[in-house]
Amino acid sequence: MQAFPFAVLAMAFYLGAGSWQGLTLLRRVPPRPGLVRGLGLMAVVCHTVVIASALRDLGELSLGVSASASLISWLVAILLLVASLAKPVLSAAAGLFPVAALSILLATEVPVGSHPAGLTPGIMVHVLTSILAFSLFAIAAVQAMLLARQNQALRRHHTRGLVQSLPPLTTMERLLFELIWVGMLLLTASIVSGMLFLDDMFAQHLVHKTVLSFAAWVIFATLLAGRHFFGWRGIKAARWTLGGCTLLLLAYFGSKFAIEVVFHDV
């Protein structure tokens, strides 16, 4: 891999930024959002070179497990850095940046089951909205975990440590639901575009993804309705969010992993 040095640098920058933000949450080091963003930006630049190199080597888009994970983690990092300029979401870097580093490692070391895809414009819309939706829900998942931990600490009257490092609880909840609303719009666009442009969404190789995506959509729609009509919040909102995100994770990577890694070796 010609971009291997950039892959190593990207992993180092991601781990450096994620580690500093994690230590900040634990109040072991002072908050340095500029440092975290700077390291994150350098990681994204190096990650971009890695992805561009992979595209150049293949000649077209690859939708294998490792390539998809790397592409999504790259987009998640970009969205997180951009959003952090306007919203206090940088805390999520503590979980998301190390995952991005892992995705680069897997894409570099485990090039299994690469499936180049010639995409029509309609299917490209479906793919892009799907990736964007999953990326936003990945950020929402980490936000939900932080919210749940913050909520539990406040209930036990623990006001030091992580609680002091996070924004107020109401701000954390508002950010979570903003992420879910935007993610839902993109997930809806993904499902609708799939209905319009895919030949058969319930074909054998797509049925699990279709069913799980619909199930996740129902969960997020129920959560938003519960928030609007019944004021759902706190740990309940976090659990519903993590449930929906888990279904999306299985929808996006479950069958790919089984087909490309498990059955590939049989």
Are 188 and 104 part of one and the same domain?
Answer: no
Are 262 and 133 part of one and the same domain?
Answer: yes
44 to 58, 76, 78: CA distances (angstroms) = 21, 10, 7
Are 134 and 26 part of one and the same domain?
Answer: no
Are 82 and 149 part of one and the same domain?
Answer: no
Domain of residue 266, residue span? 119-266
- Of residues 53 and 20, the one with the higher pLDDT is 20
Are 189 and 154 part of one and the same domain?
Answer: yes
Task: Tell me how many domains the chain contains.
Answer: 2
Tokens representing 140 are 């929402």
Tokens representing 141 are 């998942």
How far is 36 from 17, CA to CA, in rounded Å?
5
Are 14 and 112 part of one and the same domain?
Answer: yes
Are 203 and 134 part of one and the same domain?
Answer: yes
Residue whose pair of structure tokens reads 């640098």 in the numeric block: 9
Q: Environment class of residue 231 by beta-carbon count within 10 Å: exposed (0-12), middle (13-18) or buried (19+)?
A: exposed
Is this prediction's pTM over 0.95? no
* Residue 204 DSSP class: T
Q: Environment class of residue 19 by beta-carbon count within 10 Å: exposed (0-12), middle (13-18) or buried (19+)?
A: middle
Are 186 and 228 part of one and the same domain?
Answer: yes
Are 49 and 162 part of one and the same domain?
Answer: no
* Domain limit, last residue, from 117, 148, 183: 117
Residue 221 has a pLDDT of: 98
Are 132 and 88 part of one and the same domain?
Answer: no
Are 191 and 134 part of one and the same domain?
Answer: yes
Mutual orientation of helices 4-25 and 93-109 as an angle, nearest 10°?
A: 160
**Is pLDDT of 118 > 80?**
no
* Domain limit, last residue, from 117, 149, 169: 117
Beta strands in the chain (DSSP E): none
Residue 266 has a pLDDT of: 46
How far is 248 from 126, CA to CA, in rounded Å?
15
**What average pLDDT does the segment 217-232 reach?**
97
